[in-house]
Amino acid sequence: MTPTWSIRCLRALDAAQIEGLVDVLIDCVEGGASVSFMHPLTRDRAVAFWRRVAHGVAAGERAVLVAEDAHGLCGTVQLIFDLPENQPHRADLAKMLVHRRVRRQGLGAALMRAAEATARERGKTLLVLDAVTDGDAARLYARLGWVRVGDIPRYALMPRGGFCSTTVFYRDLGGP
């Protein structure tokens, strides 16, 4: 089936894109995703987060990929390049978010592949991320060939409280 969305890497985040990203982030937290924020996530806190991200993009410290469909922005993922000087070959992958209205149609996988392609274009050969242990995202990463390093118990809180364990994954882009 032809995808109903398109994915691109933003050179800068404008006000409308920040609003769309705020909607996606709030939807994910409402849906119970452990993505750094506690529930309820106010619009002000979400806007402040994406404005910081926008500064990071402007400074070349991050790449933000977004997916859009006929209804607007529906997914996003980030690459973080702001790492110690002895890790110029590496990026962290973060804030992989798909709006609930378009889940389970392959957009998560498409965003991951696009992020990996962007990382390669920027000369990165190693990606690292963490995800809630045994959650939807961890299953997606394992399916896409990411290597599971291990679990850290009681790493973070779920948005409505209660500890969750995190699983660290890496992807070697430098291999054959």
Angle at 73 (CA atoms; ends 68, 76), nearest 5 degrees: 85
Nearer to ligand COA, 15 or 143 (CB): 143
What is d(CA 125, CA 130) in angstroms, rounded to the nearest whole number?
Answer: 17
Using CB under 6 A as the binding rule, whether residue 172 contacts ligand COA is answered as no
The tokens for 152 are 């850290």
Q: Which helix (H) or strand (E) holds 167?
A: strand 163-172
Does residue 2 interact with ligand COA by CB under 6 A?
A: no
Question: Which of 91, 93, 156 has its CA nearest to residue 126?
Answer: 91
- Stretches 57-65, 95-103, 119-127, 147-155: which one binds ligand COA (CB under 6 A)? 95-103
Residue closer to ligand COA by CB (options 38, 58) is 38
Among 13, 21, 22, 28, binds ligand COA (CB under 6 A): 28
- Contact residues toward ligand COA (CB under 6 A) are 28, 33, 35, 96-98, 103-109, 131, 136-137, 139-140
